[in-house]
Structure 1
Amino acid sequence: MSQLISIIIPCFNQSIWLAETLESVYKQTYVHWECLIVNDGSTDKTEEVAKNWAVKDDRFIYITQPNLGVSVARNTGITLSKGSIVLCLDADDLISKDYIQLAIAAFLQNPSLSLVYSEAEKFGEKRGKWILPEYSLQRMAESNIIFNAAFFKKEDWKRVGGYDEKMKEGLEDWEFWIHILKNGAKVYQIPKVCFFYRINNQSRNRSIIFNNYKILYEYISKKHIDFFIKNIGTYPELVKKMNKMKREFEALKYSRKNALKVIFNTLIFRKRKG
């Protein structure tokens, strides 16, 4: 019997893109899936679009809830899902028609895998290949290097307590990946572009203002302090600042125009300290 895949699509006022996203699910070459569309308190035509697709194909399941945020919406959908492998997909992004089939093949070939994702491409206001760093726990500690639309096992979601519902402003997918992977779980990247990330003015990541980002960053750092200390020896914020200083120094060092200035300022600094 083929394995059932559960696709969870939270939607908050994204009905203008939702049909296109559902179309990309509908066209999957792997047919044993269910798609739970979670209306997170939308005030647009999300309900109308979702219900139309549920009539078209009963593998689409419509769920509605008050506006409680993407983490709650994902957890709601996963709780009601029946598949053992889950894919969370934002309501404005797209997947290639063979994404599920390739992911299932990877899990079958290596049952010890905890997470499977692919190469990615941006479209919309910006277009082009999304260059993702090669996966490692150290790189994951420095920043989120895996997009949210990756496949994971429902048992792992249960083990870590799902998406953190306190993280309503963003970065919840990064925290979720850290929680699942931090003890050395195995990851595989499909060597093909199967995920298409839409860039638009309403993208959630764009709406994270600096102050909120800092708070979220500190929250993740403290929640997984053992992970960050083990992999980068300190808090991510300090590493971020150090990397920025390093880039600025390298830019000055290799600039002929500023080379003498760097040397001069260094000598002055040493003289004052002396």
Structure 2
Amino acid sequence: MRPRINLSLQVAAGILALIAPCFLAAQGAPAVSLEEQLSAQYTLVKMGSDSSGPAVVEPGTILAIQKGGILGVPYGNMNMLPAKYQDGTLHPPATATSNSATSMGSKVCGLFGKCNSTKEQVGKQTTTRLFQVGEKVYPSKIEVHPDKDIVALSVIACDSCNNVNPPTYYKSQVVFQFAKGYLAKASPPQIEDVIAQVFTIDDSSGNQQNGGGSAQGNQDAQGGQAAQAANEPPKQPETIQMGQTMDEVSASLGQPEKIVNLGPKQIYVYKDLKVTFVRGKVVDVQ
């Protein structure tokens, strides 16, 4: 009787030894913040400078403006004049005079950090420019403030997209104000849907490059592909879920055609799918 009890205890100890590391790893894994998940969705532009002035070092995701009232300031300005988006309406900043513009900039920089002196603000006030609906911009910074239920998206003009030469690099910011307590329970796709009411991701250049030359070939092949598909049994759809690891995604979809490595953020690019990871976990699928 005693040997049988000892054997049972050994088996139980072995099982515990196997599952304990997995449990501890899951408990110790840091949660991915909303700001990190949103940053994984939008590639931020990297700026530098050369002898001619500011310059784009690495372009970011191209966004198309959907709402009027976003006011741009020169790239060298320390303070921006953000618009506020709330309940489906974009409220532009007050710009009647340079003093009102400076006052607005002071309020906003006070919300997000330390303000410059009034002298510095006025010294930087030169010209402003309203972005037009349809113009293209790069995202330059994303800030999430759950305590204030605010998401702030800073942008810089994509002058090459807008056929502007010489480039201006006007910049601006839109503050998305949500209802109290909303950010604590909202998912990244819900926030992205609201941002898309002001900035939509633009992929028209890729569509134009790939659409024209292949149209006739696609039409010729459609008939044969449809007949072949009708004779094939339906395939079980592959399922990708939030929080899956890179190995789990590779096991379901196979090896990606491309891998974009941006440090803690990685993107697996497949033929018709893009999977974004932050710290090795799925945070977005397109």
Shorter-chain TM-score: which interval? under 0.3
Alignment TM-score, normalising by the size of structure 2: 0.24
Q: Structure 1 or 2: larger helix share? A: 1
